[in-house]
Amino acid sequence: MNQTCILTKEMEQKIIETPHEFADICPIEDKDVNQKLNQLIEDPGFRFFIEFIMPGVDYEKYCEGLSTITSKYDFQAKYSCSYLQLVEKSTTSGITSNGVKELNPATSYTFITNHRDIVLDASFLNLELWRNGFPTSEVAIGNNLLAFNWIETLVKLNKSFIVKRDTTTKGRLAAAIQLSHYIHFAINQKHESIWIAQRQGRAKDSNDLTQDSLVKMLTIGGECANPIESLKKLNIAPVSLSYEFDPNDYLKATEFLMKKKNPDFKKSQNDDVISMLTGIRGFKGRIHFEFTPCINDQLDQIPADLEKQEKIHRVCHIIDKAIHANYHLYPCNYIAYDRLNGTNTYADMYTESDIAYFNKYLNRRIEKVKVHTNDEEKAFMRERILEMYANPLINKNKALGLM
């Protein structure tokens, strides 16, 4: 394994005790890692998961090494990152990144990205950090995805912290306060970078927009009267992630169809588990991460006399523009745009071979839909999938002033 992938022991040894007020949402402490891992090994659900994502694995032999792990650092270095490289090799055409070397190793960042895949967005981002000798980030994950106790244990072992979503109206404020204070604690006291998506849930149509509520939540923990000063403490660095193909595109299109038929349709927890497994094992083509600079200098340009809501809106726009302008586009994005609009505007960006491949790909995606559909419904889903691939191009053109 490339030695640049190995983090320094100084990174592992920085131990800051997490206050009790964050005990229910924070990653597992290193002192508890071995105990939690040994409990995890005995869980039938975890065994099923490992044997599903690693067909043919000798589970007992796999667990012999796992049972000796005593820190999150070792767990990621010996297991998580190694597995992610296998996923990269078997389900992608390669992962690339740009801008990582421009990060300051002494600075902890809040990486805010667009959101495509439940598991792999943050996982592959951390893989790129790890390969370049940077510490991996802590990862925000909604508790709506933690269908089983073993999943919560696994993600917390992998440096995840929990975002409480299944709360009452009153509970939402308390959860937001706790979450914001934890993020500020992680950045400024534990000196851990964190990853969080720009919105709750994935943008099903790939029209990536930062939610005001996310930025408002981030301002709370800074305990500053000026929300901009609170945000500057977090060193927000947007990251634009681009998948050539989305393994969940047909599932997202199915969800659009179900909601068209029944506006009250809601996915089950089992649907989220299926999405996670589909995202891990499905083909993704090429993947690119574009790390952009910390936005603190841009935050300083926001007029101090603006109303708070307008300041939040300006911050969202800064994040969105950084993400949109730095999309890495593929032939499928250009083909989808021309197909939707009945044009050949981008014909020089793809070949006849690209068109044939994408046509075959689209047909296969529609064939994978499990619900019964007629021709009209199939056409509806096909259009939704085309929108998923066209929207990054549209947003990039707007960000660059080309549309």
CA distance 168 to 181: 20
Which candidate, 129, 133, 136, 160, places its Cα nearest to that of 289? 129
SS (H, E, C) 164-227: CCCCCHHHHHHHHHHHHHHHHHHHHCCCCCEEEECCCCCCCCCCCCCCHHHHHHHHHCCCCCCH
Predicted confidence at residue 14, as pLDDT, reads: 58
pLDDT recorded at residue 6:
40
Q: Which of 291, 292, 254, 296 is nearest to 384 (CA)?
A: 254
Closest CA to 76 of 192, 201, 237: 192
3-state class of 378 per DSSP?
A: helix
Q: Would you state the pLDDT for residue 248?
A: 96
d(CA 277, CA 280): 5
Helix (H, G, I), strand (E, B) or coil at 243: strand
Long-range contacts of 39-45 (CB under 8 A, 24+ apart): 39/153, 40/150, 40/153, 40/154, 40/157, 41/66, 41/67, 43/149, 43/150, 45/148, 45/150, 45/151
Count Cβ atoms within 10 A of the Cβ of residue 370 and give its class: 0-12 exposed, 13-18 middle, 19 or more buried. Answer: exposed
Burial 121-146 (b: 16+ CB within 10 A, else e): bbbbbbbbbbbebbbbbbbbbbbebb
pLDDT at 7: 45
- CA 290 to each of CA 108, 242, 317, 325: distance values in angstroms, whole numbers, following the listed order: 18, 9, 18, 10
Q: Please state, in angstroms and rounded to a whole number, the distance separating the CA atoms of residues 132 and 45.
A: 33
pLDDT, tens digit only, all 403 positions of the chain: 343 444 444 444 456 789 999 999 999 999 999 999 999 999 999 999 899 888 899 999 999 999 999 999 999 999 999 999 999 999 999 999 999 999 999 999 999 999 999 999 999 999 999 999 999 999 999 998 888 899 999 999 999 999 998 777 778 999 999 999 999 999 999 999 999 999 988 889 999 999 999 999 999 999 888 999 999 999 999 999 999 999 999 999 999 999 999 999 988 878 888 898 899 999 999 999 999 999 999 999 999 999 999 999 999 999 999 999 999 999 999 999 999 999 999 999 999 999 999 999 999 999 999 888 899 999 999 999 999 999 999 999 999 999 7
pTM assigned to the model: 0.93
Q: What is the reported pLDDT for 169? A: 76
